[in-house]
Amino acid sequence: MGTFQIDFGDAAQPERIIGIDLGTTNSLAAFMDLTGPEIIAAPDGSRIVPSVVALLADGSFIAGNAAKARLVDHPEATLFSTKRFMDRAATPLKIGNRQITPPEAGAHILRELKQHAEAFFGEPVTKAVVTVPAYFNDAQRQATKDAGRIAGLDVLRLVNEPTAAALAYGLDKRKSGIIAVYDLGGGTFDISILRLQDGIFEVLATNGDTFLGGDDIDKLLMAIALEDIAAEWGAPIEGDPGAVETLRQAVIRAKEQLSFTLFTHIDLDYKGRRYQREITRDLLERLIEPIIERTLGPCRQCLADARLAPADIDEVVLVGGSTRIPLVRRAVESLFRSRPHTELNPDEVVALGAAIQAGILSGEVKDTLLLDVTPLSLGIETMGGVVTKLIHRNSTIPASETEQFTTAVDGQTNVLIHVLQGERELVKDCRSLARFELTGIEPVPAGLARIEVKFLIDANGILNVSAKDTRTGKETSVEVKPSYGLTDEQVEAMILESIENAEADIRERQVREARVEADRILAALENAKQNDAWFDLSSEDQAAIQAAHNELLLAYHGDDHHLIQAHIEKLDKASLKLAENMMNTAVRGALKGTKI
């Protein structure tokens, strides 16, 4: 393909593309300056836009610092941490007397960042690279892209947060090596392992948990404080959202201080009432140890998937505000046996990396290229509720797989394909992404249609499906019906379970497959009994078949696939004579039909 030799980088003046870190707690924008990536400051000089949205009395929405300021006084008309709901993009969130979907909430934050950038450059900004947690699934990625579109931004690329951080660290650092990026943010956790060589950043494996972050630490501290207050003040404050929000902010302050001091106070001053409690770093560490422990499983899995040992990791990079916690640093250090990098501000490094990726797309940054992977396996539902994997997790994207489909019924013109994401063997344990309906298939006898379906995961980690009727060469139209059947917690639980339940899965799958085969032979036998050939059999032969049939039915309901298989073979053998007779009958029938 000759067209690939054209270098578009040197063509016209590149249009400005900004990099955006759309975080659970805070969001930032950055751009590629002549000397390197820089954060875009708001007109008031602030660098961070809190990911908070507020509805004003006049019906307008605001986002960022002004919205955060309204959290205490108007808790019912503000939303925070909405990134956690991106998986259920169609389910609206209540804000005041209105309802907005999670992508809309994201759009308000993106719009705020866009306005800051436009004020900064003095010109319209319409193109952006937006980061997502590496472990975001297809639905969450799609929702993030939608948020951009709602905000009037053309999202040219979604980049995984840990990969963006590696870009920010790796540029003008060492020339080659293996880097692990540990990213514990406000609401999500990611681990990615990359090979860096001569400007190529190749992600070897990624893992994570899209429901684990600093928010969970806040909740633990909140539970203690709420209990205290109920006892001290004589009544719980949960019914007063303003009080709860004030307490949440006090708890976060205390948590942050404990990264630098050994003890501090949770200090709540609300409507003339005061609550104070001393809290030590030691207590915090004991509280959050289970949370930190939950990040280590994905780290080990990621190492295993990259086929590396901890000693192979040359550098560890920490990303996300929660990595300021000393216990997190110690855990990471002891797992990877190397002192993590913390030179760059963990709150800003992802946005800086997004700006570098924007520079790669615009052609400003040459010689650097990111090769990322898909975090979750992609598969389709096949007979018996089993998932057949087409593209495995940690495949470099873009990645594709082609699968042949046919029709099951004469004259069938539609085929429905159920696409799932996840690591488990059964449909019920994976996350349903969408149902793709292929329509306009030429009506032919069952099994004759040949439809070639191509599943392609693009560089954003988003699935594209196209289909072709290979008999006619015509493109088949594909209608997508996205499903929001499962929650993200379920997906996370699935992945964790996947490792524990792999054994049980395989057994269950084998039994299902054996049953499908048994169904086939039992149905064939029922059919054959209507045939003349059956009545031609001796009564002994008929009895033998019936006995084998009964034995198979008995085994069918057990959970031993070997036994089912064995009885299928027995029935097969017992009905050999029957099959021969049927063949002869068919031949006779065919001869009868021909006029000689």
Partner 1 sequence: MDFYRVLGLGPKLQLNSVELQQLFYGRSRELHPDRFARAEPSVRAAALEESSLLNDAYRTLKDPVSRAEYFLKHRGFDIGEQGTKDVPPELLEEVFELNMALEELKSGDESARPQLATARDHFAALLAQSDDELTNLFAAHDASPAEAVLRQIRGVLNRRRYILNLLRDVNGYLSN
Q: Which residues bind partner 1 (CB under 8 A)?
A: 1, 3-9, 11, 14-15, 156-157, 197-198, 200, 202, 357, 360-363, 369-371, 395-401, 456-459, 503
Question: Which residue is catalytic, options 68, 83, 114, 255?
Answer: 83
Of 355, 339, 1, 2, residue with least CA distance to 159:
355
Angle at 571 between CA 565 and CA 573, to 5 degrees: 105
Return the number of the residue (374 or 432) whose C-beta is nearest partner 1.
Answer: 374
Other C-beta atoms within 10 Å of 2: how many?
Answer: 5
How far is residue 530's CA from residue 595's CA, in Å, rounded to a whole number? 26
Active site residue 209: no
How far is residue 543's CA from residue 359's CA, in Å, rounded to a whole number? 78
DSSP for 43-111, written as a single string? TTS---EESEEEE-TTS-EEESHHHHHTTTT-GGGEEE-GGGGGGGTTS-EEETTEEE-HHHHHHHHHH
Return the number of the residue (326 or 363) whose C-beta is nearest partner 1.
Answer: 363
The answer to whether 74 and 59 have CB atoms below 8 angstroms apart is: no
Return the number of the residue (314 or 364) whose C-beta is nearest partner 1.
Answer: 364
Of 350, 304, 310, residue with least CA distance to 333:
310
Shortest Cβ distance from residue 590 to partner 1 (Å)?
30
* DSSP at 313: -
DSSP for 491-555, written as a single string? HHHHHHHHHHHHHHHHHHHHHHHHHHHHHHHHHHHHHHTTSHHHHHS-HHHHHHHHHHHHHHHHH
User: What's the chain's Rg over C-alpha atoms?
Assistant: 30
Active site residue 256: no
Active site residue 285: no
Return the number of the residue (9 or 326) whose C-beta is nearest partner 1.
Answer: 9
68 Cβ contact list (under 8 Å, min separation 6): 50, 52, 78, 80
Return the number of the residue (363 or 445) whose C-beta is nearest partner 1.
Answer: 363
Shortest Cβ distance from residue 147 to partner 1 (Å)?
20
Shortest Cβ distance from residue 195 to partner 1 (Å)?
9
Other C-beta atoms within 10 Å of 5: how many?
Answer: 6
Active site residue 560: no
* DSSP at 10: G
Return the number of the residue (314 or 401) whose C-beta is nearest partner 1.
Answer: 401
How far is residue 33's CA from residue 280's CA, in Å, rounded to a whole number? 43
Return the number of the residue (198 or 540) whose C-beta is nearest partner 1.
Answer: 198
Shortest Cβ distance from residue 234 to partner 1 (Å)?
56
Shortest Cβ distance from residue 202 to partner 1 (Å)?
8
Q: What burial letters (b/e) apply to 359-376, b meaning 16+ CB within 10 Å?
A: bbbbebbeebebebbbbb
Longest Cα–Cα distance of the chain, Å, equals 109
Shortest Cβ distance from residue 151 to partner 1 (Å)?
20
Shortest Cβ distance from residue 282 to partner 1 (Å)?
38
Return the number of the residue (345 or 464) whose C-beta is nearest partner 1.
Answer: 464
- Give the pair of three-digit tokens for residue 149: 């579109």
Question: Which residue is catalytic, options 104, 183, 381, 429?
Answer: 183
How far is residue 303's CA from residue 309's CA, in Å, rounded to a whole number? 6
Question: Which residue is catalytic, options 87, 138, 161, 469?
Answer: 161
How far is residue 51's CA from residue 71's CA, in Å, rounded to a whole number? 12
Shortest Cβ distance from residue 369 to partner 1 (Å)?
6
- Give the pair of three-digit tokens for residue 433: 């992404």
137: exposed, middle or buried (Cβ count in 10 Å: 0-12, 13-18, 19+): buried
Shortest Cβ distance from residue 99 to partner 1 (Å)?
36
What is the sign of the dihedral through the CA atoms of 163, 169, 174 and 179? negative
Shortest Cβ distance from residue 198 to partner 1 (Å)?
7
| 430 SS3 class | coil
- Give the pair of three-digit tokens for residue 326: 């000393």
Active site residue ranges: 21, 83, 161, 183
